[in-house]
């Protein structure tokens, strides 16, 4: 039996209202957040899709997104759900059959290959799993192909897949100590919010 084909969907379309700029364009540790997210995902997943929205052309020009398929979310202002739908729709139309998608966020610079690998161990067409950190649910989220239509149908606003996950049996995968689940909602002290 062959291993399931696991894709990554990196959600990087937001405008970063609280941050003051799109987080995809934020430099962190010598690279853009979107570059870090894509590079980390590429270590575990193939294919990697990155969903851009706010200032998409600027991000595309500034970032090294080698090895990723770039999707544009024209409805990015409506919230994360539109980016999730864009990514999953992109996978449904992908040339090769993908069994599951690992959904990651651009604003989590502490995400690691180890955490993604731990989640990847659960990949299958019927997978539905979330990472937990000290018992608290977070990202990444693993969505098996059998769940994509339901997630697309129920995702609204900034909730992403939350409504769908609440209505289904979800596996929790302990990633405590493997990654820092904190997201960058505002610039750290002393870091400017605009380039």
Rounded to an integer, what distance in angstroms lies between the CA atom of residue 126 and that of residue 146? 5
Rounded to an integer, what distance in angstroms lies between the CA atom of residue 58 and that of residue 83? 18
Enumerate the domain spans of the chain. 6-174
* Whether this model's pTM surpasses 0.95: no
Which among 93, 91, 107, 92 is positioned nearest to 45, based on CA atoms? 91
> Could you tell me which CATH number the domain at 6-174 has?
3.90.550.10
pLDDT tens by residue, 145-169: 999 999 999 998 888 899 999 999 9
Quickly state the pLDDT bin for 40 (edges 50, 70, 90).
very high
Of 56-65, 73-82, 128-137, 156-165, where does mean pLDDT reach its minimum?
156-165
């Amino acid at each position: 039996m062959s291993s399931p084909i696991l894709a990554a969907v990196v959600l990087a379309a937001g405008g970063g209202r609280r941050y003051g700029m799109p987080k995809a364009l934020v430099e962190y540790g010598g690279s853009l957040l979107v570059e870090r997210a894509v590079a980390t995902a590429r270590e575990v997943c193939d294919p990697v899709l990155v969903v851009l929205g706010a200032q998409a052309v600027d991000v595309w020009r500034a970032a090294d997104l080698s090895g990723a398929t770039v999707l544009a979310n024209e409805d990015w202002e409506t919230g994360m759900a539109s980016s999730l739908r864009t990514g999953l729709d992109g996978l449904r139309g992908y040339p090769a059959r993908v069994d599951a998608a690992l959904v990651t966020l651009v604003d989590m610079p502490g995400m690691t290959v180890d955490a993604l690998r731990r989640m990847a161990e659960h990949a299958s067409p019927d997978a539905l799993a979330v990472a937990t950190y000290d018992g608290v649910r977070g990202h990444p989220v693993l969505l098996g192909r059998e769940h994509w239509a339901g997630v697309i149908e129920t995702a609204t606003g900034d909730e992403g897949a939350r409504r769908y996950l609440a209505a289904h049996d979800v596996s929790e995968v302990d990633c405590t100590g493997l990654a820092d689940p904190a997201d960058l909602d505002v610039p750290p002290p002393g870091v400017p919010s605009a380039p």
